Structure 1
Amino acid sequence: MSIEVRDLRLRFGDVDALDGLSFSLAGGKIYGLLGRNGSGKTSLLSVLAAFRRPTSGEVLINGAEPFENAGVVSQICLIRESGDVYDNERVASVLRAGRQLRRDWDSDYAEKLLERFQLSTKKRVQSLSRGQKSALGIVVGLASRAPLTMFDESYLGMDAPSRYAFYEELLADYTAHPRTFVISTHLIEEVASLFEEVIIIDRGRLVLHEESDALRGRGVTVTGPADVVDTFVASLTVLGQQTLGRTKAATIYGELNDTQVRAAKLAGLELGPVALQDLFVHLTRAEAEGIVR
């Protein structure tokens, strides 16, 4: 399912949770939604899932507005950090509800996932640990096979082996049953390899939307003697700098051309890539300081 967001605004009292957000997402990809705490990620996903009505602007899912549109909403699954399951229900009841509400629900796959995450259908949700509740939310999200499936920090309660099991299952099931995934996360480096495109928002506004590989290519670290580094980056967009003694490392935003690469090597400077998580930190800081627009 494709997503079209046009000048989207969501206001709570005097606060703009989303402030003129616009972007387009083609269907059938895995998207990473990144942003600091309070950036508007959860608000955006709530609007996409039709949990909230926009204050203004427009959201289209496959060309149709989702709010109060049963035909569209039935094809969307949003799993939030809470797992979106009721504490007083048994696990079996949660799966039964999923089967009744989701037209593409796969019961066999749900059973397989329960076994992988070691969840018993007889237990009540309230008796599960935080990690088990998160795992149950993951089961519901993946087994729903919804054409648009979104996870909002829904695996934070899980331990590392369980999170990596989730990443493996998501990629395998996406390959077998292509659909649109949107994953909001703070654990960027763990899940970054899944992302085909990345959306970064800050204070309710779009910082960038780009293919993951292209985004990684836009960040370069320049390391060497401090005075040489300062001279080299003087005309470039510097996102951040670190100095240790006489050595400085500067993170720049933008691709270097062949002439600049040769000049760096002749000056004895070292050029290196920037991890997606580090680039995210630098970009959101730069956005806040007005360096990047």
Structure 2
Amino acid sequence: MRVEVQGLTVRYGDVTAIDDMSFTLSGNKIYGLLGRNGAGKTSLMSALAGYRKPSGTVQLDGVPVFENAAAMRRVCLVRHSADAADKGDKVSHVLEYGAAWRDTWDNDYALELTELFKIGLRTKVGELSLGQRSALGVVIGLASRSPLTMLDESHLGMDTPTRYAFYDTLLHDFMAHPRTIMISTHLIEELSSLLEEVVIVDAGRLVLQEEADVLRSRGTEVTGNASDVDEFTAGMTVLGEKSLGRTKAAMVYGALEDDQLIRARGLGLELGPIALQDLFVHLTDPVGGKR
């Protein structure tokens, strides 16, 4: 599914959650939607799902999603936990709602996932633990097989082993059934290996949209003798430094030119990638970040 957003603005009274945002998602990728708390991630996903009338346009495969039942049926947005009609609903009933709403629903896969995450079908939603409710949301998102599937921090209630099981399941199912998947998360490094492209928002504005590998190439960790590292990085944008004895590692932002690479080798410095999370922190830094 191709997603096209043009001039999108979302306001809540006097508060502007999304401010004149435009971008395109080409489809059949796993996108990471990254932003600090209050950056506008949930408001953006709600607009993409057709939950709110946009100022500007939101189109899915060339048609508006708002007040378009056919388009909305091709979208699944899962928030922090499963969207169920009532906490008194049994898990089996929640799955029935999913099947009734979405033509792409795979019930066999839904049942397989409930077993994987140890969610009892007869259990009422209100009786599930926080982690199980989060897992149920993931079940709905993945089993929907929706052309546009959005997971809004839906994995945060899970413990670490369950989150990693979710990541593996997500990747395997995406490879078998490619579609447009967008995940908002604060656990950037845990998910970074899954993300093909990232969309970073801050204060309701688009900071950048870029392939994850290209974004990683913008930063370099420089390691070596402390004085040599200081000499090499003089005048560069240094995101952070670590020292151990005479050895120092500095994270610098910005692609290195060929002459800088030659100079680094001459100084005996080691160059390596830096974490996507460190780049995200820099790009959304209200004081020193580059826009």
Alignment TM-score > 0.5, same fold: yes
Gaps (5+ residues) in structure 1? none
Separation (CA, whole Å) in 1 of partners of 2:47 and 2:124: 30
Deviates more, 1:233-242 or 1:212-221: 233-242
Native 8 Å contact 1:240 1:282 kept in 2: no
Could you tell me which residue of structure 2 aligns to residue 8 of structure 1? 8
The Cα offsets for residues 15-59 of structure 1, whole Å up to 9 and x where unpaired, read as 2111122211111111011111111111110110111222x2221
Task: Using the TM superposition, give the Cα deviation of residue 163 of structure 1 relative to its aligned residue in structure 2, in angstroms.
Answer: 1.0
Secondary structure in structure 1 of the residue aligned to 2:284: helix
Matched-pair contact (CA < 8 Å) for 2:150–2:183:
yes
* 2: CA distance, partners of 1:134 / 1:115: 14
What SS does structure 2 have at the residue aligned with 1:60?
Answer: strand
Structure 1, 229-238 or 199-208: larger mean CA deviation = 229-238
- State the match for 2:20 in structure 1: 20
Q: Which residue of 1 aligns with 2:254?
A: 254
- The amino acid that maps onto 1:80 is R
Query: Pairwise mapping of residues 1-293 of structure 1 onto structure 2 (< 5 A)?
Result: 1-54=1-54, 56-85=55-84, 86-224=86-224, 228-241=228-241, 249-285=249-285, 288-289=286-287, 291-293=289-291
The code of the aligned residue for 2:46 comes to S
Q: Percent identity?
A: 59
Q: Is the 8 A contact 1:33 1:199 kept in 2?
A: yes
Does 276-285 or 114-123 show the bigger shift?
A: 276-285
Letter in 2 for 1:63: G
Distance 2:226 2:39 in 1: 34
User: Does the Cα contact within 8 Å between 1:18 and 1:204 map onto a contact in 2?
Assistant: yes
Letter matched to residue 67 of structure 2? E
SS in 2 for 1:194: coil
Aligned length: 290
Letter matched to residue 61 of structure 2: N
Question: Which residue identity does 2:27 align to in structure 1?
Answer: G
Q: Secondary structure at the match of 1:68?
A: coil
Q: Secondary structure at the match of 2:31?
A: strand
Once residues 224 and 291 of structure 1 are traced to their aligned partners in structure 2, the CA distance between those partners, rounded to angstroms, is: 26
**CA distance in structure 1 between the partners assigned to 2:43 and 2:231 by the alignment:** 43
RMSD after superposition: 1.9
CA distance in 1, matches of 2:135, 2:27: 26
Following the alignment from structure 1 to structure 2, what is the Cα–Cα distance between the partners of residues 132 and 120? 10
Find the residue that maps to 1:121 and give its secondary structure: coil
Contact 1:239 1:291 in 2 (8 A): no
Shift of 1:248: 5.2
State the secondary structure of the residue aligned to 2:37.
coil
Contact 1:135 1:155 in 2 (8 A): yes
Q: Distance in 1 between matches of 2:188 and 2:12?
A: 28
Structure 2 counterpart of 1:83, one-letter code: A
Change (3 A) 1:291 1:32: closer
1:240, distance to aligned residue in structure 2 (A):
4.1
- SS of the aligned residue for 1:186 comes to coil
